């Protein structure tokens, strides 16, 4: 099962941890895993590529199905842009978990302590 956790501080989403494999199909043919991966990777890549906001990668391991990141300290303008992408990520992961409840769990938790 994929466990997707978004972290928040107040109204702001501040990070995400995606972990595990969905088990929906074998590797390379698993649309659930591909969906979760593309949502999360697109968010991180767009933050940096379009807005110059480098997510702080805590852990990344494709074999174990892990992508864990936090947003850095940002200006108010950068935060507004980041929150749009994080909201897209939240909705996409929520939809995926609702569509494939036996393969994806989704939650939002209060901000974790920084490493």
Which pLDDT tens digit goes with each residue over 42-90?
999 999 999 999 999 999 998 898 999 999 999 999 999 999 999 999 9
Tell me which architecture the domain covering 2-110 has in CATH: 2-Layer Sandwich (3.30)
% of the chain surpassing 70 pLDDT:
97
What value, to the nearest 5°, has the Cα angle with vertex 23 and ends 107 and 65?
Answer: 65
Instruction: Return the domain boundaries, the chain.
Output: 2-110
User: Do 109 and 4 touch, CB atoms closer than 8 A?
Assistant: no
How many helices (H) and strands (E) the chain has is answered by: 2, 5
Q: Distance between CA atoms of 34 and 28, rounded to whole angstroms?
A: 8
Phi first, then psi: give them for residue 111, nearest 5 degrees: -55, 135
Secondary structure (3-state) at 37: helix
Question: pTM, whole model, 2 decimals?
Answer: 0.91
Q: What is the pLDDT of residues 18-29, one digit of tens each?
A: 999 998 988 888
Q: Distance between CA atoms of 64 and 99, rounded to whole angstroms?
A: 23
């Amino acid at each position: 099962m994929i466990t997707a956790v978004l972290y928040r501080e107040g109204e702001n989403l501040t990070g995400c941890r995606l972990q595990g494999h969905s088990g929906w199909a074998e590797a390379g043919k698993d649309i659930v895993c591909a969906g979760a991966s593309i949502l999360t990777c697109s968010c991180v890549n767009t933050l940096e590529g379009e807005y110059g906001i480098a997510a702080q990668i805590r852990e990344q391991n494709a074999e174990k199905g892990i992508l864990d990141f936090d947003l850095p300290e940002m200006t108010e303008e950068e935060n507004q842009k980041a929150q749009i992408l994080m909201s897209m990520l939240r909705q996409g992961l929520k939809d995926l978990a609702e569509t494939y409840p036996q393969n994806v769990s989704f939650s939002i938790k209060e901000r974790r302590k920084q490493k």
